[in-house]
Amino acid sequence: MNKNHRVPSSRSLNAVEVKSKFGAEFRRFSLDRSKPGRFDEFYGLLQHVHRIPNVELLVGYADVHGDLLPINNDDNYHKAISTANPLLRLFLQRKEEADHGTFGTDSLTRKKNTVLSAVLLRPDHNKKKPPVIISLPKDFRPVSSIIDVDILPETHRRVRLYKHGQEKPLGFYIRDGSSVRVTPQGLEKVPGIFISRLVPGGLAESTGLLAVNDEVLEVNGIEVGGKSLDQVTDMMIANSHNLIITVKPANQRNNIVRSGVGGGGGAASGSSGRSSDSSASYYGYSSHSAAASIPPHIIQNFPVGELESDEDEEDLVIEAGGEAEPIRHMASNHSMSSLPRYEPHLNLRTATTPSPDRAMERGSLEEDGTVITL
Amino acid sequence: MRAFLEVGIVLYTLVSVLGSFVKTVEHGFPHQPSALGYSPSLKLLAIGTRSGAIKLYGSPGVEFMGLHDENAAVTQVHFMPHQVELVTLLDDNSLHMWTLRGHNGLSELLEIGRFTLTGPPGVTAVLAHSSGELLLLGTEGGHVFVVEVPGFRELEERNISLDQVSSRNLEHVEALQENPVDPDQVIIGYGRGLMVIWDLEKKLAIQHIPATQQLESVCWTEDGKYILSSHSDGSYCRWMVGGQDMNEEEKSDIPYGHFPCKAISKIVQLPTEEGPPFLLFSGGMPRASYGDRHCITVIHGKTHVALDFTSRIIDFFVIRDGPQRTDPSALVVLVEEELVVIDLQTEGWPIIQTPYLVPLHSSAITCSHHVSTIPLKLWERILAAGKHQNAHYSKKPWPITGGQNLAPDPPQRDLLLTGHEDGTVRFWDASGVCLYPMYKLSTAGVFHTDADPNDNMNQGTEGEWPPFRKVGCFDPYSDDPRLGIQKIHLCKYSGYLTVAGTAGQILMLELNDEAAEQTVEAKVVDLLQGQEGFRWKGHTQLDIQEDPVMFPAGFQPFAVVQCQPPAVVTALTLHSEWKLIAFGTSHGFGLYDYQQKNSVLIKCTLNPSDQLAMEGPLSRVKSIKKSLRQSFRRIRRSRVSLRKQHLQEANARLEAELAEMELAPVQRKIEARSSDDSFTGLVRTLYFADTFLSDSSHNTPSLWAGTNGGCVFAYMLRLPSVEHRADEPVTAQLSKEIQLMHRAPVVGIVVLDGHGAPLPEPLEVAHDLARAPDMQGSHHLLVVSEEQFKVFTLPKVSAKMKLKLTAVDGSRVRRVGMAWFGSSRTEDYGESGLLVLTNQGDVHVVSLPHVKMQVQYPCIRREDVSGIASCVFTKHGQGFYLISPSEFERFSLSTRCVVEPRCLVEAPLHSGCSNQHQSQPDGASSTHRYINLEVSLMSRLSWIRTPN
């Protein structure tokens, strides 16, 4: 993570010019590029210069491509400072008025022509449709990925579903069936487990990586052959925190073609994970077309050991009585479980906004953000 | 490296002490018996079942079991007179010859031959001839075939074909009987009624007896002078056997006559040394008024009793003794659900208590609890209490005394407690091969129930005809399902017992050697704790008798807790040292101080969004009602449409619906468990432990509770000092809550001491029966969920080790128990292990404290859900599960504790013929057997995975 702290050497100027806009008001000031300070200091500074000490703000800036990107932690703050060219254009919004759809690619350039502040208004053609809600980067996390492409036969697909304390259901059903296997004796019909239904809006459907009639071959690396439907059901539920299903897709036309990438070995892995945002499917994202066009370079390999360790300390222990803190009621807030462990070591954030997904946030940042593509 | 070594040692020792998995013996009453046989010379009883099993019983402990390869019902069992062979007839018309063969000083039941009569006619009657060499087979076609045994060679020249007897169609052969005084004469009874006395040597008919009614059975009197026949119209006739062709019946009677009667299916007349003979027959009841009764009538002189059984009569026989072995001493009746033995020599014909074949299911079993190594004192007190209850049984010893029981005396006294639907708890001596009833506790007396205790199954009023007398204890009809026992916990040191039932009742009982009048103090505990929006739609709570109740000697209740809402008690535990009980339902759990008789703690575990738990068990019934109403509406609607001539349309729609239903495949939803799932608050397990809950230097009493939603609550208990125990309150304070992230139901909680051994039971150390737990090293908490075994450190709860089960092979934990495996080689060495039964029916042994899977054996079929649910483990590596409503199968994983029948049956000495299977008892053989076991253990070492 320290890479973001580097001072860009190409910049000769040491001061960054800042133009901050809140509503109709502008403020201008400058910052030291080499010592930008922390985000919370910066945040306080903004509140100070705009004289809005008690207003919760969403801070955005225009990057070199004209995209409106958020500033809400040290990392993206430093990024914003280091890439300021030389002017850093800031757009502030009240948090309660915040429009999550504002951030993203082309969000500024599209609106260059509009008279009013580009930030506060959506383009007209978007108004007719329900807005595409795009989460803040802190909420970004992978929801699914295709893994182990280099070791699996091309006809198989190993899909990892991330169900980390999110509300969205896994959303699929399995059934018994029979599949045909090639054996030395010829073709043989053997019993198999198949996906029978995908719940609209569920995690499984939204990934686009699983489809009805796909044959389930393995669950978290364990073959399901010879196991009953109930056993496989229990295995999947037991692994639901981190479910890895190896399927033989019913539709074999969308298989990943390994075109010489395998030579690099590691080249195939780790570059990027493909993930469609979970909320996208609510608005009729055509996930199947997305699945159909998976380029070969967005594949990840996950070491199996990592899967194991993930959930090790998930159990939530509440100490009570004696000199320990007073009893906090669980109130089914199970997502708090990840809190103690995944305390970000930068310790930037005030503790008032405990995020259930902070753990994932960290993970995604470590992967240099490329996991998140929209 | 150190860890590696440790694991290696554990693996080695566990394997060396574990031995193997063996199913040793079946306890209880065979399911669906279909045939009965008895050998007066061997004094052995044989029962065949509809599933093709054949079981032999002699004196207590002498048991044999065989299973026919065919999956066909056994219809007849006949011992070869004076031999160790027996013949079975199955309903697929095959005959099987079995023998008891000696092997290493023990007898084994072996099948030695089978025979199927060529040609289509089925065998309807079998006579094992007293010569021991012939078998007469009567068939459906009316022919009698003579077969030589044991080789099953058909002697064609001796067959008795129908045309040798009569030119008329006589239907099938109903009965075949040998003349008791002349083995050459047999009587052949045909279905139409005609009976023929046939001389086997001369091969001709001596006498024709022309009965006119459909024949049911034939009996030759002891002196060979008379023949008794019973008929389908409820009559029986007595015929003189004489030289001259006497066609007149000497005596004919319809005992329960005037109105049409049911058939007399079997009749027997037996003489006595002095005095009138015994006449016994089954059936013959007046069709209209008592046609549904299952009766055997016994007439002796002026005494006439119709024994009224609670289930269908399969067969009966009479055991005779006295100087000439003629006096009938006991009547043995096999009915569908039990074996009843009646003492015919004692006034009033009392019942002789059966030492085995006891119907476990006289009221359906609802739960079971096993307690090992009962102290002698408690054992004797329970036995004494049981004796009071058995006063009405005959004092005569058990009359079936064949064979020798060679099994060593059981090393310890074990008690199996079964809870029943009618609110009784039965105590069984489970130490040996015979599951012997010791004592029966009824909890119904504490409550007002709908049934009046005086109106059920009492003796008939004076002068009632027929003179019925209820016999047998099989009574499946429960007066009040709320009385059903769900959980039992007995403290073997203090004699305190707690039982909990279906309507949220928890009884505390104490063993009292005297009958006493007690007022039972009731305490209502509201587990909802002000939870809003709750509607209980289930049954109401039981009403307690407010007046003092007279309780007989034995376990007497002194306190009752009633949960509100009165849901089924799902977890129960007792700590007799602290005098506390903890109980849980689907709504929460509570802690009750039975010394001060007040409740210490109540915790509601209900999730307000859990509608199913909120409404109680009857919501399902309501939905049935609703669906009925809906379907009636649909019918009405369809009638309307019919009137409107939309019949076709409606039909088409219906068909489409049906087709859709058929096409819909069986599918399972894959969804992570959430806190909103149903019954997450149901309390699955409760556990008391003296351990380090708050800091690592002071151990304190604690209560642990595990729920269906994967949550564990730990409470620190403060107990007043012994001198103030009676007046200062016990307090409980929540100390920890653990939410398992996989949210699987918690089925077991155990605290392991510094040595990794589970904490001893209360009072165990005080009685010097267990090593004191190691309080120096750090304690560990083992939480067993349906999916994982997880070890946490204490007092700071952090995960240390775990073993995943479901994630790896898809099976789930159904039953779990701690067991101590003693080594079969060294007396004082052993280890603790975790016995686990999964929903796949497999038994696993998990080593402690490292939670490593050791061995796995298939035990119960995965489809046998009730068998899996009924399984109970003992503390010494054995287990029981129900293979039918009435039978426990016993299995053993330990080499030291194996309870199995070891018995010897020798051929009767006076028979003199064909004794080639005579076995020689030799004392050395038992040691030989042990050596074999050891060898098999050594070979088992090879298949253990090397630790990694």
- What chain B residue is nearest to A241 in terms of C-alpha separation? B672
The yes-or-no verdict on residue B270 having pLDDT over 60 is yes
For residue B650, is it within any domain? no
For residue B665, list chain A residues with Cβ-Cβ distance below 8 A.
Answer: 175-177, 196
For B802, which residue in chain A has the nearest alpha carbon?
A312
Residue of B152 and B646 predicted with greater confidence: B152
Q: Which of A163, A229, A321 sits opposite B668 (nearest CB)?
A: A229
Single out the residue in B77, B93, B116 at which a domain terminates.
B116
Distance from CA of A89 to the nearest CA of B (A): 45
pLDDT on residue A233: 92
Beta strand B842-847 with B852-858: parallel, antiparallel or unpaired? antiparallel
- The CATH number assigned to the domain holding B172 equals 2.40.10
Asked if A174 lies within 8 A of B676 by C-beta distance, the reply is: no
User: Does some domain include residue B766?
Assistant: no
| Domain annotation covers residue A112 | no
Per the CB < 8 Å rule, is A171 touching B711?
A: no
Q: What percent of chain B has pLDDT over 70?
A: 83
B916 SS3 class: coil
Query: What residues make up the domain containing B235?
Result: 217-315
The pLDDT of residue B110 is above 50? yes
Closest to A172 (Cβ–Cβ): which among B666, B670, B739? B670
CB B44 within 8 Å of CB B403: yes
Q: Last residue of a domain, which of A201, A233, A254?
A: A254
Report CB contact under 8 Å: A313, B810.
Answer: no
Q: Which residues of B touch A233 (CB under 8 A)?
A: 668-670, 810
pLDDT digit string (tens) for A72-81? 888 888 888 8
C-alpha distance from residue B880 to each of B179, B427, B608, B874, B892 (Å): 47, 15, 38, 8, 9
CA of A4 to nearest chain B CA: how many angstroms apart?
35
The set of long-range contacts for B138-143, using a CB threshold of 8 Å and a minimum separation of 24, is B138/B172, B138/B173, B138/B174, B138/B175, B138/B176, B138/B188, B139/B172, B139/B173, B140/B172, B140/B173, B141/B172, B142/B169, B142/B170, B142/B171, B142/B172, B142/B173, B142/B190, B143/B173
Cβ distance of A222 and B607 shorter than 8 Å: no
Q: How far apart (Å, rounded) are the C-alpha atoms in residues B176 and B165?
A: 14
Contact yes or no for B592/B598 (Cβ under 8 A): yes
Q: How far away is chain B from the Cα of A349, in angstroms, using its nearest Cα?
A: 26
Residue B753: beta bridge partners? none
Q: Using an 8 Å CB-CB cutoff, list chain A residues near B671.
A: 169-171, 237, 240
Chain A residues in contact with B740 (beta carbon < 8 A):
315
Q: In this predicted structure, what is the pLDDT of residue B615?
A: 62
Q: Is there a domain that residue B863 lies in?
A: no
Tell me the residue range of the domain where A54 lies.
15-94
Please give the ipTM for the structure prediction.
Answer: 0.77
List the structure tokens of B556.
Answer: 């007497």
pLDDT of residue A289: 38
Provide the number of CB pairs (under 8 Å) joining chain A to chain B.
138
CA–CA gap between residue B453 and residue B444 (Å, rounded): 10
Closest alpha carbon within chain A to B695 = A322
DSSP state, residue B541: P
Rounded to an integer, what distance in angstroms lies between the CA atom of residue A193 and that of residue B706?
33
Residues of A in contact with B531 (CB under 8 A): none
What is the residue-averaged pLDDT of chain B? 83
Q: Are residues B36 and B52 in the same domain?
A: yes
The band of A346, judged by pLDDT with boundaries at 50, 70 and 90, is very low
Q: What is the CATH number of the domain that holds A63?
A: 3.10.20.90
B715 CA: distance to closest CA in chain A (Å): 9
- The C-alpha of A281 sits at a distance from chain B's nearest C-alpha, in angstroms, of 19
Q: Which residue of A has its CA nearest to B798?
A: A313
How do B788-793 and B872-873 pair as beta strands? unpaired
Q: Quote the pTM value.
A: 0.75
Is-contact A358 A372, C-beta < 8 A?
no
Q: Output the CA–CA distances (angstroms, integers) from residue A345 to A74, A353, A372, B484, B811, in the order listed.
A: 12, 16, 22, 58, 40
Nearest CA of chain B to the CA of A2: how many Å? 31
Burial B903-935 (b: 16+ CB within 10 A, else e): bbbbbbeebeebeebebeeeeeeeeeeeeeeee
Encode burial over A4-18: b for 16+ CB neighbours within 10 A, e otherwise. eeeeeeebeeeebeb
Band the pLDDT of A141: cuts 50, 70, 90.
Answer: low
Range scoring the smallest mean pLDDT among A95-104, A194-203, B113-122: A95-104
Residue B734: which of A196, A321, A334 has the nearest Cβ?
A321
- Whether residue A299 contacts residue A268, with contact meaning beta carbons closer than 8 Å, is answered with yes
Please state the length of chain B: 948
pLDDT at B374 over 50: yes
Nearest to B739 among A197, A234, A334 (CB): A334
Residue A31 lies in a domain: yes
Residue B570 CB partners (closer than 8 Å, separation 6+): B486, B487, B584, B585, B586, B682, B683, B684
In a domain, A102, yes or no: no
**Distance to chain A for B718, nearest Cα, Å:** 13
pLDDT band at B246 (very low <50, low <70, confident <90, very high): low
B357 versus A303: which is more confidently predicted? B357
Q: How confident is the model at residue A165 (pLDDT cuts 50, 70, 90)?
A: low
CB–CB contact A174 B607 (8 Å): no
Instruction: Kindly tell me if the per-residue pLDDT of A178 is higher than 60.
Output: yes
Mark whether B134 and B177 lie in a shared domain.
Answer: yes
Question: Measured between CB atoms, which of B737, B804, B840 is closest to A318?
Answer: B737
In chain B, which residues have their Cβ closer than 8 Å to the Cβ of A172? Answer: 670
Q: Does a structural domain hold residue B512?
A: no
CB within 8 Å: B670 and A170 = yes
Task: Give the 3-state secondary structure of A279-297.
Answer: HHHHHCCCHHHHHHCCCCC
The Cα–Cα gap between A29 and B294 comes to 105
**A200 falls within a domain:** yes
Residue B66 has pLDDT above 50, yes or no: yes
Q: Any bridge partners for residue B790, and if so which? A: B783, B802
Yes or no, beta carbons of B810 and A317 under 8 Å apart = no
With an 8 Å Cβ cutoff, are B665 and A169 in contact? no
For the cut 80, the answer to whether the pLDDT of residue B706 exceeds it is yes
Pair A149, A213 in one domain: yes
Whether A176 is covered by a domain: the verdict is: yes
What distance in Å separates residue B691's CA from the closest CA in chain A?
A: 16
Q: For residue B782, give both structure tokens.
A: 């083992």
Residue of chain B nearest A227, judged by CA positions: B810
Is residue B786 pLDDT above 90, yes or no?
Answer: yes
Last residue of a domain, one of A219, A237, A254: A254
Stretch among B316-325, B522-531, B645-654 having the lowest mean pLDDT: B645-654
Question: What tokens does B628 get?
Answer: 């009925």
In this structure, are residues A285 and A275 in contact, taking their beta carbons and an 8 Å threshold?
Answer: no
Q: Which is more confident, B373 or A357?
A: B373
Q: Which residue of A has its CA nearest to B801?
A: A312
- The number of domains in chain B is 3
The predicted-structure confidence for B175-211, as pLDDT tens digits, reads as follows: 999 988 888 899 999 988 888 898 888 888 888 888 8
Nearest Cβ partner for A316 among B734, B735, B739: B739
Of residues B369 and A341, the one with the higher pLDDT is: B369
Domain end (from A254, A280, A297)? A254
Closest chain B residue to A242, measured at CA: B672
Q: What is the mean pLDDT of chain A?
A: 65
Averaged pLDDT for residues B612-628: 52
Closest Cβ–Cβ partner in A230, A330, A334 for B668: A230
Question: Quick one: pLDDT at residue B68?
Answer: 92
Residue B649 predicted with pLDDT over 80: no
Summarize pLDDT for A201-237 with one digit per residue, the tens. Answer: 888 888 888 899 999 999 998 999 889 999 999 999 8
8 A C-beta contact, residue B113 and residue B98: no
Residue B385 domain-assigned (yes or no): no
Regarding whether A148 and A87 lie in a shared domain, the answer is no
Could B741 and A337 be called an inter-chain contact, meaning their C-beta atoms sit closer than 8 Å? yes
- Across the interface, whether the CB atoms of A175 and B665 are under 8 A apart is answered yes
Same domain, A84 and A162: no
Q: Which of A337-351, B85-99, B821-835 has the highest mean pLDDT?
A: B85-99
Q: Do B811 and A334 touch (CB under 8 A)?
A: no
Q: Check pLDDT > 50 for residue A368.
A: no
Choice among A158-162, B15-19, B876-880 with the minimum mean pLDDT: B15-19
Q: Which residues of B touch A170 (CB under 8 A)?
A: 670-672
Q: Confidence band (pLDDT; 50, 70, 90) for B906?
A: confident
Residues 6+ apart with CB under 8 A from A159: A144, A145, A146, A147, A207, A209, A210, A244, A245, A246, A247
- State how far residue A324 is from chain B, nearest Cα, in angstroms: 9
Top mean-pLDDT range of A159-163, A259-263, A335-339, B621-625? A159-163
User: Which tops the pLDDT comparison, B448 or A348?
Assistant: B448
Q: Report the gap between the CA of B634 and the closest CA in chain A (Å).
A: 30
> Does residue B773 or residue A46 have the better pLDDT?
A46
> Nearest-CA distance from A10 to chain B in Å?
49
Sequence-ordered alpha helix ranges (H) in chain A: 39-50, 74-83, 124-128, 203-207, 229-238, 287-292, 304-310, 358-366
Nearest to A234 among B607, B790, B812 (CB): B812
pLDDT in tens, B814-862: 999 998 877 666 666 677 889 999 999 999 999 888 888 888 899 999 9
> Are B199 and B175 part of one and the same domain?
yes
A117-121, B361-365, B527-531, B658-662: which has the highest mean pLDDT? B361-365
B122 and B206 both lie in a single domain: yes
Please check whether residues B109 and B122 belong to one and the same domain. no
Q: Which residues of A touch B804 (CB under 8 A)?
A: 238
Q: Does A237 contact B671 at a Cβ distance shorter than 8 Å? A: yes
The answer to whether residues B529 and B588 touch, using CB atoms and an 8 Å cutoff, is: yes
Residues of B in contact with A240 (CB under 8 A): 670-673
Answer whether residue B418 shows pLDDT above 90: yes
pLDDT recorded at residue B539: 86
B206 is a domain residue: yes
Judge whether A355 lies within some domain. Answer: no
Picking from B211, B228, B263, the residue at the C-terminal end of a domain is B211
Same domain, B311 and B223: yes
**pLDDT tens digits for A89-140?**
888 888 777 655 556 554 444 444 444 444 444 444 444 555 666 656 555 6
Q: Are residues B676 and A240, on separate chains, in Cβ contact within 8 Å?
A: no
Residue of B nearest to A338 (CA): B741
Shared-domain flag, residues A245 and A159: yes
Least confident of A112-126, A172-186, B216-230: A112-126
Q: Where residue A192 sits, what CATH number does that domain have?
A: 2.30.42.10
In a domain, B825, yes or no: no
Tokens of B126: 């079998």
pLDDT for the residue B944: 34
CB contact under 8 A, B799 and A235: no
Average pLDDT estimate for B699-726:
92
B628 falls in which pLDDT band (50, 70, 90)?
A: low
Query: Helical H runs in B573-693?
Result: 611-615, 619-643, 647-663
Higher pLDDT: B656 or B112? It is: B112
Q: Identify whether the C-beta of residue B27 lies closer than 8 Å to the C-beta of residue B880.
A: yes
Q: Residue range B46-58: average pLDDT?
A: 94
Q: Which pLDDT score, from 0 to 100, does residue B873 have?
A: 94
DSSP A63-79: -TTS-EEEE-SHHHHHH
Residue B108 has pLDDT above 80, yes or no: yes
Q: Determine which of B601, B607, B668, B716 to mutate to test the interface with A (most A C-beta atoms within 10 Å).
A: B668
Q: How far does B264 lie from chain A, in Å, by closest CA?
A: 52
pLDDT at B77: 95
Give yes or no for residue A339 having a pLDDT over 50: no
Count of domains observed in chain A: 2
In a domain, A342, yes or no: no
Residue A355 — pLDDT band, cuts 50, 70, 90?
very low
| Least confident stretch, B277-281, B880-884, B911-915 | B911-915
Question: Which one of B79, B100, B116 terminates a domain?
Answer: B116
Is residue B811 a contact partner of residue B788, using CB atoms and an 8 Å limit? no
Q: Is residue B44 part of a domain?
A: yes
Q: Does A198 fall in a domain?
A: yes
